[in-house]
Chain A
Amino acid sequence: MTDVFIIGAGIHPFGRTPERTGLQQGVYAVRQALAEAGLDWRDMQFAYGGSDAAGKADTMVSELGLTGIQFINVANGCATGGSAMFGAYATIKSGEFDLGIAIGFDKHPRGAFDPKPAEWGLPDWYGETGLMLTTQFFAMKIQRYMATYGITSETLAAVAEKAYANGVLTDHAWRREAVDAETILNATMVSDPLTKFMFCAPAEGAVALIFASEKRARQLGLPTVRLRAAAVRSRPPGSFEVFAPALDITRGPSPTVIASRAAYEMAGVAPEDIQVAQLQDTESGAEIMHMAENGFCADGDQQAWIAEGRTRIDGRLPVNTDGGCLACGEPIGASGLRQVYENYRQLTGQAGARQVPGSPRLGYSHVYGAPGVSAVAIVER
């Protein structure tokens, strides 16, 4: 079995692009990745791609070229990008192919997501009476976490302030203006304790990553990172997830905890070895809780970590260096690959104004979504 390398990356800027469909944004990202690597679409032996709400990825071949490529569509909700990457990882690792691409893209209408209860195996009354909102879940998860571990609203605001500050430095970010903590705290309350500026918004964007075997990567001589681990996990008993009419009285770990442990084990590294991390920040509280769920600190330590600036770009463990979902928005099918794109840029020293100092070698990314799925990837320069 060969090691798996990421040898090229492309991104369509996140945010809103009325003149391009989600699929066209995907094509844009593929072309950028290929051009940067000096490769042609004909060189791609396989593709995994998907979106949650913007169409079928394999129809991109009409624009990219009818090469007969093995193109597999991935539809795995919030873990679509992570699943596409896992497909690419396993395909190369097995030796079946040695050069291919993973693509994630999306385009959502404005406003909160509007899920249909039946599609989630839930009765109609759950949606009819106004209980089926992702925003409520995130608010109630952090509300209890704050009460249990002494996290303050000021810490929620500091996380969002950092996200927007990093977004200012990021070409592909949507929100590129700084917002100060006081404005964040005093903004319209969306779902207590979270204000408007503490939530990400559904958006648009696309990412493409090119994968190669070790031999092929060496031949091509491009900037590379080694994919040390890629793990996707669904929910264990007793976890607290989006769209849950009830929770088991015996509480259990989250899918993030088990995906994270699996990834550390695959990579043979520990949380303290990680030098830059991209963590799912659907809202400020999610980043805080995910710091602990991914093993970076104990529950409650985030209060001190954030006050000391440890998760800023110049801190000990920079988190969400491109502004995360808060500054980039949330195109469901693309977010997971955006995180890996960002780690690729950081580890290959191509992150420009937001470059983490000290030439980081190990990057960690984590995506989480409904109905309780997490995908973790660890990359190494």
Chain B
Amino acid sequence: MDEVELREFVRERYARLVGAVALMTDDFASAEDAVQEAIVRAWERTERGEQIVALDRWVAAVAMNLSRSRLRRLRVERLARPRLVAAQPVQPSGDRIDVARALADLPRRQREVAVLRYVLDLSTEEIATQMRTSEGTVKSQLFKARGHLAEALSLVEDPDEENSHAEHR
């Protein structure tokens, strides 16, 4: 990964990756730090000649693993405070609060499945690989998460779509 590729990756994927990890962990500072750390690790690996097939998926997986660490979260929160002031992230709007609250009510695995699916567009197979679980489990978790989020966010199902889902079930 040379600097041109890095700039392109950062421009196109950085914000969405940070958003996804932040939704999952409910910790923006930790998410931003984890994504940056993951990008740097990917950069180092490619310089050593290692191949990373799907860079955005790799960075997402590593960033999410890093974010799960409780100690890292606590320390980053403290260390990142001055930087947050300088960077001035956008304050959460009403819609963002709704989404964050709805996600926060989900069990961790359902929350992760929903974010990987709806924010990062991963397939059930890719989610299963990343979470080291079966596709069946992913589908089950996604079904539950979808139902809870739709209710919490007052989403209305198109009648045709509803029939279609009913047939699938």
Q: Do A and B come from one complex?
A: no
